[in-house]
């Protein structure tokens, strides 16, 4: 959790094929770069031969925050009522108490989840993803990583030499402009 609050740089590498990306990562991992691959967020964008774009981004939207918060709230609300009040679910009052706890927990969880998803910065901005999607040619794949600025030179050396396009956005890394 502590790494998510450090300054990060967005790294974008576009590879001609999926195989090229896999080969580069296999080589990087084999050379012991696991420590340098301290990734805060990652996204993969691919354009197939027919021109269809598929984006896999680990961002959390407000809608996902609402759903996740509601599910967690339902579980916590239900368990709290069961453990604290210990109602007998067979009785009408017990069942209503349990239902009220589940509903209240779900509503509170949904509100908190929406708020946190709106405030927290997960994943990548939609304009950056759109820009990279437009840049891809059929068959190409783009890898977006949120990395420590100090790791950019090593990643540029390991990933950038095999990439058709390599760029960074955000906080400047040492020795880069």
CATH class entry, domain 2-58+140-170: alpha beta
pLDDT over 70 at 1, yes or no? no
Confidence of residue 141 (pLDDT cuts 50, 70, 90): very high
- Residue 138: what pLDDT? 92
Q: Which pTM does this prediction carry?
A: 0.62
3-state secondary structure of 42: strand
- Residue 86: what pLDDT? 64
pLDDT over 60 at 4, yes or no? no
What is d(CA 66, CA 78) in angstroms, rounded to the nearest whole number?
Answer: 18
157 and 149 in contact (C-beta within 8 Å)? no
- Structure token pair of residue 116: 């946190």
Name the percent of the chain lying above pLDDT 90: 5
What is d(CA 2, CA 149) in angstroms, rounded to the nearest whole number?
Answer: 16
163 and 156 in contact (C-beta within 8 Å)? no
DSSP assignment of 49-76 equals TTS-EEEEE----HHHHHHHHHHHHHHH
132 and 126 in contact (C-beta within 8 Å)? no
- Residue 3: what pLDDT? 43
Contacts for 14 with CB less than 8 Å, ≥ 6 apart: 132, 135, 136, 140, 141, 142, 143, 163, 164, 165, 166
pLDDT over 60 at 159, yes or no? yes
Contacts for 150 with CB less than 8 Å, ≥ 6 apart: 173, 174
Locate the domains of the chain by residue range: 2-58+140-170, 62-119
pLDDT over 50 at 173, yes or no? no
**What pLDDT, in 10s, does the model give residues 74-92?**
888 888 877 776 666 667 7
């Amino acid at each position: 959790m502590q790494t998510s609050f450090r300054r990060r740089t967005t790294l974008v590498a576009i590879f001609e094929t999926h195989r090229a990306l896999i080969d580069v990562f296999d080589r990087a991992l084999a050379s012991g770069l696991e420590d340098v691959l301290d990734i805060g967020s990652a996204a993969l964008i691919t354009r197939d031969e027919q021109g269809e774009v598929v984006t896999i981004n680990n961002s959390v939207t407000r809608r996902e925050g609402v759903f996740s918060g509601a599910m967690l709230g339902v579980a916590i609300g239900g368990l709290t009522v069961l453990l604290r009040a210990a109602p007998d679910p067979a009785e009408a009052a017990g069942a209503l108490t349990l239902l009220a706890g589940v509903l209240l927990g779900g509503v509170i969880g949904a509100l908190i989840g929406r708020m946190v998803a709106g405030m927290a910065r997960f994943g990548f901005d939609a304009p950056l993803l759109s820009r990279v999607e437009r840049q891809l040619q059929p068959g190409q794949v783009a890898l977006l990583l949120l990395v420590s600025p100090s790791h950019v030179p090593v990643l540029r050396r390991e990933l950038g030499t095999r990439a058709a396009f390599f760029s960074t956005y955000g906080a400047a890394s040492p020795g880069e402009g």
